[in-house]
């Protein structure tokens, strides 16, 4: 990879991490378009640059993360399913799923259909939960189970958690904020675990690449989060479902994957 590749991948990560379109899926497709070989370092880089996105949430929502113990407890409960599933299926995911464009495209396409159908049927009730602190631990755990499905590249962690939360009666803005916060332990654990597992493949230059990538993804994620918060005041997620289907069709018909 060169500096151009690093910046492109990092910006793609930052923009897509908190949108319901799958950042991992987009990174895999971007590496394919750029002709980047899926080496152990590249696979690790695609995970590690999530640190920038994590930092954007810490900056924007740090008070909830570090001060309110009631919020922290619910985040940790929701994190449990993904932590367990990730540890059990790490080798399978890293060996067979990461870098697999076919899995990504099918996940994007089917996920887009599910997102559209869900939004067409969903109607927010007057009694929808508006405070994360009022969420039950059972609700947090179920949302965590939804998130664990996103271990499959292309599914989208954001989409899975948001659909799970809306299904449980949380208001849209509430589950979106919870999805932001839940991303911090989830992505931090994934990054630390993957770097630890693949530390031997890193050179000094690789660490410089990660530093640049983290900075670029941080800036892109800040812009993306602010955009999404504003977007949701007037719109739902149908447009993202349509986008997911179109990007999959584009790669099938034009790129011929």
Residue among 146, 170, 182 nearest 232 (CA): 170
> pLDDT at residue 256 above 90?
no
> pLDDT at residue 245 above 90?
yes
Please give the share of the chain, as a percent, with pLDDT higher than 90: 68
Residue 194 pLDDT level (bands cut at 50, 70, 90):
confident
Measured at the CA of 9, the angle between CA 213 and CA 231, to 5 degrees, comes to 100
The tally of domains found in the chain comes to 1
> pLDDT at residue 198 above 90?
no
Q: Convert the pLDDT of each residue in 93-128 to its tens digit.
A: 888 888 789 999 999 999 999 999 999 999 888 778
Report the distance separating Cα 240 and Cα 146, nearest Å.
18
Report the distance separating Cα 230 and Cα 224, nearest Å.
10
As given in the structure block, the two tokens for residue 221 are: 């994620």
Residue 63, CA distances (Å) to 60, 134, 183, 191 in order: 8, 17, 15, 23
Give the 3-state secondary structure of residue 44. Answer: helix
**Full domain range(s) for residue 162:** 3-255
As given in the structure block, the two tokens for residue 152 are: 């499959």
pLDDT of 230: 93
Q: Convert the pLDDT of each residue in 14-63 to its tens digit.
A: 999 999 999 999 999 999 999 998 888 888 888 889 999 999 999 998 87
């Amino acid at each position: 990879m060169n500096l151009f590749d690093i910046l492109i991948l990092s910006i793609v990560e930052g923009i897509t991490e908190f949108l319901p379109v799958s950042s991992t899926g987009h990174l895999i497709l971007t590496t394919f378009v750029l002709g980047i070989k899926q080496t152990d370092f590249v696979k690790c880089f695609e995970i590690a640059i999530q640190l920038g996105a994590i930092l954007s949430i810490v900056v924007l929502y740090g008070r909830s993360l570090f001060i309110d113990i009631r919020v922290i407890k619910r985040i940790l409960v929701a994190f449990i399913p993904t932590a367990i599933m990730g540890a059990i299926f790490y080798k399978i995911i890293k060996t067979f799923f990461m870098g697999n464009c076919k899995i990504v495209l099918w996940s994007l396409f089917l996920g887009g259909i599910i997102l559209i159908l869900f939004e067409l049927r969903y109607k927010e009730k007057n009694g929808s939960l508006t405070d994360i602190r009022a969420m039950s631990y059972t609700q947090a755990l179920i949302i965590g189970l939804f998130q664990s499905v996103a271990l499959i590249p292309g599914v989208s962690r954001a989409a899975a958690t948001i659909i799970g939360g809306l299904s449980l009666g949380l208001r849209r803005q509430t589950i979106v904020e919870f999805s932001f916060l839940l991303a911090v332990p989830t992505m931090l654990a994934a990054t630390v675990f993957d770097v630890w597992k693949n530390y031997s493949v890193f050179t000094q230059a690789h660490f410089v690449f990660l530093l640049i990538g983290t900075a670029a993804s941080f800036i892109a994620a800040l812009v993306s989060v602010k955009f999404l918060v504003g977007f949701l005041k007037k719109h739902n997620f149908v447009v993202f479902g349509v986008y997911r289907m179109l990007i999959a069709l584009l790669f099938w018909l034009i790129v011929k994957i």
